[in-house]
Amino acid sequence: MTAEHRHVGKSSVPHRGMHADHEGRLTYWQLLEISVRELLVEKGVTSAGEIASEIAAMDGRSPADGARLIARAWSDDGFRKRLLSNASSAMAELGLDPSGLRLIAVENTRYVHNVIVCTLCSCYPRNLLGLPPDWYKQRAYRSRVVRSPRAVLREFGMELPDHKTVRVHDSTADMRYIVIPERPAGTDGMSEEELVGLVSRDAMIGVAEATRPQERD
Amino acid sequence: MPERVRVRCAAPPGHVRVPWYLRGKTGIIECRLGSFGNPEQLAYGLDAPHVELLRVRFRMEELWGNGCEKPDDTLDAEVHAHWIEPAGPCDDG
């Protein structure tokens, strides 16, 4: 590795020649990523522009698309059933491109609460919800939510009554999961567009309830 | 009658997507998900034959014993068919 490489930025930052004055030393894995990326560009396998546009597309995704799915499911019972039976094709109904995402929707009810984790790494429906929050990728959440989900949910501010069964979903292979939260009380007259604003990222992971209308803002 | 299966208690070398905490544990097949490339070959860029993937549901008591928070809470995980074996009728009480 040349001295020049030690001054490059971290992953997803343009490489040679970019001085990153406030960065610490690069880790082994950051250097490896930069080296492989540069080789792929130099060999013409991909281009810097292609990499930049993929990063921009990923950064541009947000939980908003997921919230649209949930709001539609709350508003249209037929859609809710289709979302539960084949979530990827239900996505396409809203004009969302599943692009390989194999999505499973799990529904919270009066008797069941669902929560999502990936204990092995950080599998997450990124096409739909954007990048996962940092805590989702950390060992504390990944190891504890499968062992003591009620205690972890309490730390997120959710006290689950005894009559609710908790179902933890470990995304160990090809499926990705989204939670359909319970529709909050007091929302009967709300339009689908208004309901979208009640669906947070955390509610779709299962570590929060949907926002009640009076709690908004 | 739900089909009861046990996750193999094996420790082969290489990339395996069966968490340790599930090995040797018994659950029921909750859903059959179709066939997918075997990650144990995919991880090394090898030809990966498709294997059936199942979602298996475990009771928390089965995973964590008496110290679990609530015995009837559940954990679902995706497990490939070559990692499970029939468990027979209720043999753990």
pLDDT band at B90 (very low <50, low <70, confident <90, very high): low
Q: What is the pLDDT of residues A38-81, one digit of tens each?
A: 999 999 999 999 999 989 988 888 899 999 999 999 999 999 99
For strands B4-7 and B84-86, give the pairing: antiparallel
- CA distances for B14 relative to A18, A121, B41, B47, B52, angstroms: 38, 16, 9, 15, 20
Q: Taking CB atoms and an 8 Å limit, are B69 and A148 in contact across chains? A: yes
Q: Taking CB atoms and an 8 Å limit, are B74 and A166 in contact across chains? A: yes
pLDDT band at A17 (very low <50, low <70, confident <90, very high): very low
* Secondary structure percentages of chain A, helix, strand, coil, to 5: 45, 10, 45
Per-residue confidence (pLDDT) for residue A8, from 0 to 100: 38
What's the CA gap between B20 and A76, in Å, rounded? 41
* Minimal Cβ distance to B70: which of A166, A170, A175: A166
Q: Least CA distance to A172: which residue of chain B?
A: B78
- State the nearest Cα–Cα gap between B86 and chain A, in angstroms: 20
Complex-level ipTM: 0.94
Q: What is the pLDDT of residues B2-58, one digit of tens each?
A: 899 999 999 999 999 999 999 999 999 999 999 999 999 999 999 999 999 999 999
- pTM, two decimals, is 0.87
Nearest partner of A67 among A180, A190, A207, judged by Cα: A180
What's the CA gap between A92 and A121, in Å, rounded? 27
Residue, of B79 and A3, whose pLDDT is higher: B79
Which residues of A are the active-site residues? 118, 121-123
What's the CA gap between A195 and A191, in Å, rounded? 6
Per-residue confidence (pLDDT) for residue A1, from 0 to 100: 40
Judging contacts by C-beta atoms under 8 Å, the chain B residues touching residue A120 are 17, 19
* Minimal Cβ distance to A173: which of B53, B57, B64: B53
Nearest partner of B78 among A114, A170, A101, A146, judged by Cα: A170
Q: Least CA distance to A171: which residue of chain B?
A: B77
- State the nearest Cα–Cα gap between A217 and chain B, in angstroms: 34
Which residues face B29 on adjacent strands?
B56
Q: Taking CB atoms and an 8 Å limit, are A168 and B69 in contact across chains? A: no
Cβ neighbours for A7, distance < 8 A, ≥ 6 positions apart: A18, A19, A20
Per-residue confidence (pLDDT) for residue A22, from 0 to 100: 54
Q: A with B: how many residue pairs have Cβ under 8 Å apart? A: 65
Judging contacts by C-beta atoms under 8 Å, the chain A residues touching residue B63 are 146-147
